[in-house]
């Protein structure tokens, strides 16, 4: 976890040193890595037989909980967003 | 939207390859994901460091945004408590324990499997995978409907690694520090909150 954060800071340093150069293909590389990680996540799920067998029932339940959790948190985030915007005029 | 569909396609393709045993399991048990994540974070870092103007904006970060992790936690727990009302056969504490994963599916499902058994552990795994997927797919819509902080709250514990690239893309580079701080705090709360709610039930 901290290794990953450390690597990102190393990237920030590298990017800063290269700030006067154009870096074509960087955002494409980022997208390809996201695709690879999602593919590997799917692979892990697909290999788990017990999980696949009960997927329909457990999956629906899991989905309801995920949607509810996301909705609750984004409504809370909206409240903070509105509160900050009204007080300081969108100071970030 | 096209980008999100491609992401889901890769996830589904991976699932199908897993079911059909087309690709050996050793690929997932190895270090490949970790190295891919490291490479991802390095390229995200480069894109941040490459634009010093973005770094300057971090200094002007509103300290009140430090409240965001608390709102994420409270909002999530309120949301899953509401979901408990429509889910028969699950206790309130079970729902709260699953919600307390905040997208951190690996750790939370291991904890819940240990305390509550494999079935609830599986629900926790799926629910938190869904949370990460919803954030990855829904980020542009969440920004439009609930403001730029919404993908960060939705991302929960994942906002300092896996969902950070998407957040940077749709909320903007100026939210990277908030996102890292948020991910750190929420991530840290996962083992404590999951254990707490499992011990109550």
Cα nearest neighbour of A82 on chain B: B147
Q: Which residues of A touch B39 (CB under 8 A)?
A: 33
| Contact between B76 and B99 (Cβ < 8 Å) | yes
Tokens of B133: 């997927």
Cα of A85 to nearest chain B Cα, Å: 11
Across the interface, of B38, B130, B152, the residue whose CB is closest to A62 is B130
Q: Which residues of A touch B183 (CB under 8 A)?
A: none
Task: Place A54 in a pLDDT band, splitting at 50, 70 and 90.
Answer: confident
Q: Which residues of A touch B21 (CB under 8 A)?
A: 47
Cα of B179 to nearest chain A Cα, Å: 12
Alpha-carbon B33 to chain mean position = 16
Tokens of A33: 């890595």
Placement of tokens 């037989």 in the chain: A49
For B14-56, the pLDDT digits (tens) are 889 988 988 887 776 657 877 887 898 798 789 878 877 655 6
For B88-139, the pLDDT digits (tens) are 889 999 999 999 999 988 778 777 877 887 778 888 888 998 999 999 999 9
Cα nearest neighbour of B159 on chain A: A5
For B53-84, the pLDDT digits (tens) are 655 655 666 788 889 999 999 999 999 999 99
At B85 the pLDDT is 95
Select the residue from A1, A7, A8 to test the B interface by mutation, using most B Cβ atoms within 10 A.
Answer: A8
pLDDT surpasses 80 at B143: yes
Strongest mean pLDDT among A47-56, B5-14, B154-163, B179-188: B154-163
Model pTM above 0.95: no
Cα nearest neighbour of B99 on chain A: A69
At B1 the pLDDT is 46
Put simply, the answer to whether A73 touches B7 (Cβ < 8 Å) is no
DSSP secondary-structure letter at A71? H
Distances in Å between the Cα of B23 and the Cα atoms of A39, B28, B84, B158, B179 are: 11, 10, 38, 27, 34
For B169-189, the pLDDT digits (tens) are 999 988 988 998 898 889 888
At A92 the pLDDT is 46
Q: In this predicted model, which residue has the larger pLDDT, A1 or A16? A: A16
| Contact between B189 and B137 (Cβ < 8 Å) | no
At B126 the pLDDT is 87
Q: Which of A63-67, B1-5, B74-78 has the lowest mean pLDDT?
A: B1-5
Cα of B201 to nearest chain A Cα, Å: 17
Distance (Å, rounded) from C-alpha B199 to C-alpha B144? 39
Distance (Å, rounded) from C-alpha B82 to C-alpha A72? 9
* In A1-92, alpha helices (H): 2-17, 26-47, 49-53, 55-88
A43 Cβ contact partners less than 8 Å away, ≥ 6 residues apart: B14, B15, B17, B18, B23, B25, B27, B28
DSSP secondary-structure letter at B166? H
Q: What angle do helix axes B92-99 and B105-116 make, rounded to 10 degrees?
A: 150
Residues in A 41-70 with any Cβ partner in B closer than 8 A: 41-48, 50-52, 54-55, 58-59, 61-70
Cα nearest neighbour of B17 on chain A: A43
Residues in A 9-38 with any Cβ partner in B closer than 8 A: 9-19, 23, 26-27, 29-31, 33-38
Q: What angle do CA A39, A41, A47 make, to 5 degrees?
A: 100
């Amino acid at each position: 976890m901290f290794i990953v954060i450390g690597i990102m800071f190393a990237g920030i340093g590298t990017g800063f040193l290269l700030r006067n150069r154009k870096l074509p293909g960087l955002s494409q590389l980022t997208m390809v890595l996201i695709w690879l990680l999602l593919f590997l996540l799917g692979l892990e799920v697909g290999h788990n037989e017990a999980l696949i067998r009960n997927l329909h029932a457990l999956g629906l339940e899991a989905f309801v909980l995920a949607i509810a959790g996301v909705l609750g948190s984004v409504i809370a985030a909206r409240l903070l967003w509105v509160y900050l915007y009204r007080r300081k005029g969108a100071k970030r | 939207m096209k980008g999100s569909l491609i992401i889901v396609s890769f996830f589904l393709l991976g699932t199908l390859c897993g079911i059909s045993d087309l690709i050996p399991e050793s690929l997932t048990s190895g270090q490949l994901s970790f190295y891919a994540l490291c490479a991802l974070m390095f390229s995200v870092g480069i894109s941040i460091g490459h634009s010093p103007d973005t770094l300057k904006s971090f200094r002007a970060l509103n300290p009140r945004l430090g409240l965001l992790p608390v709102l994420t936690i409270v909002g999530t727990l309120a949301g899953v408590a509401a979901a408990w009302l429509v889910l028969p056969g699950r206790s309130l504490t079970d729902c709260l324990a699953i919600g307390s994963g905040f997208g951190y599916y690996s750790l939370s499902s291991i904890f819940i499997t240990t305390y509550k058994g494999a079935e609830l552990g599986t629900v926790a795994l799926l629910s938190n995978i869904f949370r990460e997927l919803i954030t990855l797919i829904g980020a542009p819509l969440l920004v439009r409907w609930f403001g730029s902080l919404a993908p960060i709250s939705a991302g929960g514990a994942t906002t300092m690694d896996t969902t950070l690239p998407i957040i940077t893309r749709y909320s903007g580079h100026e939210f990277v520090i908030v996102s890292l701080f948020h991910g750190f705090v929420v991530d840290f709360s996962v083992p404590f909150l999951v254990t707490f709610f499992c011990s109550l039930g």
